[in-house]
A and B are shown apart, each in its own frame.
Chain A
Amino acid sequence: MAELTYRSAVAHGIAQEMRRDPSLVMLGEDIGPAGGVFKTTVGLWDEFGPERVRDTPISEQAILGAAMGAAMTGIPVVAEIMFSDFLPVCFDILSNEIAKARYMSNGQLAMPLVVRCANGSGVRFGAQHSQSLENWCMMVPGLKVVAPSTPVDMVGLMAAAIRDPDPVVLFEHKSLMASKGEVPDGEVLDTLGTARTVRPGTDVTIVALALMVPRALEAAEILAQEGISAEVIDLRSLVPLDMASILESVRRTSRLVTVEENPQLCGWGAEIASIVAHEGFWDLDGPVLRVTTPHVPLPAADVLEDEAVPSVDRIVDTIRANWD
């Protein structure tokens, strides 16, 4: 057992897989000797060399194109897009090509690749370096989408994403980079599409992702003091989506709250709310609540960013205000 930061868990997970599979390669901007803009790839270039950890020009289409072409000809790839905000620059390759190749070729092409990117708010970088774009990727048929919230999940889900034969977008949250957690020695391998109940409860189910998980846990602690027992589910993966865990929890608590960092309109919680409204309707004792970033570009000033993104207080207030 070792204590790792979330940041170092990224390289830890990739290194585990690169040792296991000598054909696995990486590419991205500044990922080599520089160790990545967020220092998430530190050590990989030293251990695996410039052939397997390749620095690229600032050419996001070329990065994902190279990843795709290599993956579909038998070389598994981990590609870094530095900030998720840059995904739109190569969204054609991601959404039109990588995501659809298997389907359009009727299974002739496989796509064993992972696109990793730094995602989310909290660093006051403004509207083009702080977005939460997980819902953009979630709505593209053919992509899998993962967003770990802890170091151990980062290692295990990174390994699962790399071994998955389908393209996976893995979001690394900028505000979680310095957080720490225990990671077991030896191989760590998790399963995509499995949510985790991180706090059991009986009165309300709070579903959260990435940075919203620690906030939901803090909110649950406060609510507990007021006599409201909240169950917190770390969704971990948007595609595949572990609806069974959510529906099972709602069956017991009869209430559902989603906490989403993406803007409200078409955020991932809307899909979950719609499924629960359909399949868990008779289990519900109250309206499904969504705590989200409003439908705005993210502002830069600290007070404004904090106002926009769901906070512990907003989660608590929303649940309290809707309590009978």
Chain B
Amino acid sequence: MPENHYADRPPRTPPPLNAANADLNIDREVRLQLYRRLQELRQVGNRLHELFFQNLVRGTSHLSLGMEAVSAGFGAAMRNDDYSLATYRGHAHTLSRGASMEGVIAELLGRDNGLMRGKGGSMHLVDVENGMLGSYGIVGSNLPIANGAAWSAQLRGSGQVTVCFFGDGGANIGAFHEALNLAAVWELPVVFVCENNLYMEYTPIDLVTAVEHPAASRASAYGLEEIVIDGNDVDEVYTCAQRVIERARAGAGPSLVEAITYRLGGHSRADMAKYRPEAEVEAWQGHDAIELYHRRLLSLGVGEAELTAVATDVAAQVNAATDAAKAGPPPPLEEVHTQVFADGGSSWRN
């Protein structure tokens, strides 16, 4: 198959920017925090991309470049003790809960100072202390597990909400349907967020999906509202996140959100993404989450200098985190045998 196998299809362009989102009632401070988060996610993503090409990150890796507004918006709307679950494309979701940049970068470098000391790797970031319950490598698996975390919160009466991110491709796997049904029947405090980046790996999602919106068009099957948002407009994501999270916290049950977005790069490390129509890529480059937000903040009266200062500050932070990550030693080899069981070891016999 040629590398550009779907490049001749008509491009699927971004939704028109909703100018009214500038008028959403979001504090200036919150907006600046969102901007900072977008910068962090973008700059760490770019850094990881560089580290791959320096062959410092082994194995594969799935970046969220272009998709940052979804995790930034939801992360900002979550309470500190809320739970997140993501897919293998989980770096941004982990960072947006406040995980250490050094811990994330070092994990990808396979160092002892990684979040999981090198045991998990790029596809499996976990940071329980910050509510990040894991990144799951099997498409769809995190949805039923998210129900369990939500069930636990319901049983404990803790008021915690679980937010579970998955891809458009994940809406076609059985676990999605099992999870949605159970969440609805048990009225669980869980929010399922489909990051529809229009592709499942190398295949346009519309070619393999019976309905227009892989997640949202199925919402009615589970008695849920059909919610489709512009996943590149962080104000829109944040506002929607607040609404569905508060709904869940109030005991009104689950929600299913489909955020339309786009990867700026390939599916994973090695993928140059030549299968996409050029006009499509260009159109989405013109609908970039960070540039959109930059322009919006300027239009709202934030000074260019202030925004530049945020970007510069984040760059210094990312550089420092990279240096610290690289300075970490490899994990001690004994780590192969630890943490299989609760006694800390791997012994299965006497």
Contact = CB atoms under 8 A, between A and B. Distances in A.
Given A101-B134, A109-B126, A65 B339 contact: no
B295 to A, nearest CB: 40
Contacts of B124: 104-105
Interface string A94-118: 0011000111111111100000000
Given A65-B141, A66-B182, A108-B126, A75 B339 contact: no
Interface stretch (B30-38, B171-179, B321-329): B171-179
B21 interface: no
Contacts of A77: 148
A285 B115 CA distance: 52
Interface string A72-98: 111101000000000000001100110
A51 interface: yes
Nearest to A90: B144
B339 A102 contact: yes
Contact of A66 (B134, B141, B151): B151
Given A57-B182, A166-B341, A193 B148 contact: no
Interface in A168-201: 193
Contact of B148 (A66, A96, A142, A241): A66
Nearest to B180: A62
A242 interface: yes
B350 A25 contact: no
A73 B147 contact: no
Contact of B146 (A51, A69, A101, A144): A69
Contact of A69 (B126, B151, B346): B151
A25 B347 CA distance: 28
A68 B179 CA distance: 13
B350 A65 contact: no
- Interface band, chain B: 35 or more
A64 B145 CA distance: 8
A69 B117 contact: no
Contact of B119 (A23, A104, A239): A104
A244 B350 contact: yes
Given A65-B143, A72-B133, A103 B342 contact: no
Interface stretch (B152-160, B194-202, B309-317): B152-160
A106 B152 contact: no
B147 A97 contact: no
B190 to A, nearest CB: 9
Contacts of B185: 57
B147 A57 contact: no
A70 B181 contact: no
A56 B150 CA distance: 15
Residue of A101, A193, A242 with most chain B CB atoms under a 10 A cut-off: A101
Contacts of B141: 61, 65, 92-93, 96-97
A287 interface: no
Nearest to B162: A69
A301 B8 CA distance: 58
Nearest to A105: B126
A105 B152 CA distance: 20
A61 B174 contact: yes
B155 A106 contact: no
A226 B348 CA distance: 37
Given A104-B119, A105-B134, A239-B348, A68 B148 contact: yes
B150 A241 contact: no
B178 A61 contact: yes
B179 A62 contact: yes
B132 to A, nearest CB: 9
B136 A241 contact: no
A65 B179 contact: yes
A286 to B, nearest CB: 24
A154 interface: no
Given A106-B115, A240-B350, 4 more contacts: A54-B186, A59-B181, A75-B155, A108-B126
Interface of A: 23, 25, 51, 54, 56-57, 59, 61-62, 64-75, 77, 92-93, 96-97, 101-110, 141-142, 144, 164-166, 193, 239-244, 275
8 contacts: A56-B182, A57-B178, A65-B141, A68-B145, A73-B152, A75-B152, A104-B124, A243-B349
